[in-house]
Chains A and B, each alone.
Chain A
Amino acid sequence: MTDMKYLFEPQSIAVIGASLDTSKIGYKVLENIILGGYRGKVYPINPRSGEMLGHPAFKDLEDVNAAIDLACIVIPARFVFDAVRKCAKKRVKTALIITSGFSEVGNITEEKKITAYAREHGVRILGPNIFGVYSAKASLNATFGTRDVIAGNVAIITQSGALGASMIGKTAVENIGLSAMVSVGNKADIDESELLDYLITHDQTKIILIYVEGVKEGERLIKALNETTKKKPVVVIKSGRSAKGAIAAASHTGSLAGADEVFDALVRQYGVLRAEDIRDAFDWCKFLSNNPMPKGEHTVIITNGGGIGVMTADACEKYGVKLYDDLPALNGIFSGVVPDFGSTKNPIDLTGQATTAEFDGALDVALHNDNIDAVITLLSEVAVFDSENMPELIKKYYPQYKEKGKPILFSCLGGDKVQNCINSYHGSGHPVYGGAYESVSCLGAMYRYYNYLANRSEEIALADIPKKAIEEIVRKAREDKRHFLLAHEAQAIMKAAGIPAPQSRVARTLDEAVQYSGEIGYPVVMKIASKDIIHKSDAGGVALDLENSNEVIDAYQAIMQSCRTYNPSAKIEGVDVLEMARPGTELIIGARRDKIFGPIVMFGLGGIYVEVMKDISFRAFPLNHHEITNMIKEVRSYPLLLGVRGEKKKDIDGIMDTIIKLGTIIKRCEAISDIEINPLVAYEEGEGVKALDVRILLLKGER
């Protein structure tokens, strides 16, 4: 038995802190376990012993003369450590610490002490600060939430106990059947990643819904999500979208990579469906768990109202649902069932004169046509429409479509009869909705997952980089007690990795600056070379487009004087003399070791306004060419790369190559925390790219 199996399918449970006081959580948990239909052994633990809800209670865990798989701890925080110690002695496999009052209120030491002890003695901990666990397979409801849980195929993992308890109630109202529900609370030991690893192969679970507030070990979570979404859809609700402080970071990548932006990009990368709120999440779960995955992307809208048809087409555009647009084929399919004054273009308009009989005809041909993969049915209550027959129509076609492997959705708009029809299907699992956007949002979520599965690739894009040479440059910087590389060192890394960069040399005197400028060829750029001056432009340490020796001489004086004034104690090594690159499209490519999610890469429109425009995208590892293409296409400025106003297409292969190389460096060279090229100038297709300014930061502390 794996650790998680003891959590979801325990043979025996002890409730430490079981109570007969109905106002206590210790009573509610015991009551839910016993009356919820749990078939294993139950041992209430209470100092007063006696009998509790028909089960003999024990004064102490040690008094139980049998093996215990799961212990629910519902006693005050100050007694929890002692209880865990007893669990260890009793060889309890998993302890559910429902009790709160630990790290969530600053009591971190106690939580760490409990976790360390449990880990040392082989007891797994769920929580603390949770509302419990529900497992349909074991008919186990070890929570203090409602007992009216419907068994089904949706598993919910929630970080919030209170929200979890209310979600259990909501699932009952919505008639969403649960296979499991786990509250992870403070995640002292068991977290979402481990639960996902278990749920991947959990036969009863078809779809997983996760509510996350904060991510602790993002890299592990991403890996688990990646594995899970290969097999089943995952819907995530994460709060804290706006929790981004104005933190000054040493790199743009750092300041742009707010926790939520990165989380959002990464979950999308791995096919996770992120919902804005619980309503969307529940709608998607219900739809995905009750409907077949489509075989293709040809969606057809069948309507009896032109306006609602157009509105639904707009919703399809918004949610990425592709409408079948082969007009001759559509005409061939529907001309027999659409009146002459209707339309066989998609939306298929049966006109306001259509009754359920006309819908019946249209749904029947759509059902049997293999070129149609999904159908959105819009039923508007116009004068001649026989609303009373709507339920029959839905009842007839939903199972047939399901059997055929085609999703079908019904959006119904009208008065009492229509509303009654919607209400009658509420909670039934039938895809019947009141609004067009509501229904298309569900189909959109399904297609996002469909496309993810269709395009996912096991390829891992890594470049061949000279790790030793890069580490040698890093080592020298560390010897100099620096946490960043000087420009010429960063350029050397670009050269070693094969990322094109302008020619450059460090001039220590004016004579050398003039000499090197001549050798490199005018025009040139000069930048101060000093470990003590990071913000070169702010210090007046940059001069561009120097076209002759006189301009080099003036610029050299200006740079030296300005930088000495800016930081009189700065150790100035000289000036970097660089080839002035010809103009192109300025991009930013960054790679950083995110504290939560590990190595990530960033791509976007570069230049000085990067933080204002925020036209960027992120990806995590493993990277592949498909995902890199997606991340490039994702930015709003993507058309610039395709060429606008008569410009030619830019060298997208060169950009991809640079992203892969930067990603490989950050992945393989652990001493580097951030690399940023801004700008990376992209030239026309076939002419490559050039890294004009490179900033490399090192991890603090020895590596």
Chain B
Amino acid sequence: MTTHYTKTHEYVRAEGNTGVVGITDYAQSQLGDVVFVELPPAGKTLKKGEEAATVESVKAAAEVNAPASGEVIEINNVLSESPALVNEDPTGEGWFFKIKLTEPAELNGLMDEDAYREFVKTLS
């Protein structure tokens, strides 16, 4: 179970050939209180880098891109009632959607946890 990170602050956690996608703790802290998340419909095919979801906070709206290609197999419906989970537990209960990875090799092009931590340091 490895987690990969993008420069646009999405993560994808590989569980077999399934990828759990969400936004990072750094992303939620920059956005502030999340008030709404718009998720892709289950069954939608996403290409890596394609716009997949939208997250709105009290001060901004941001697009969430697919960190890897695949088909959306499950979305986190709890977020429609409790968007604050994105702030409270971004990498746990605040996940966005799960995809069936069609090109797992794409993950190798993403950052691992250490690389992402270093990357975030360069931003502040």
Whether chain B is bound by chain A comes out as: no
Chain A residues in the interface with B (C-beta under 8 A)? none
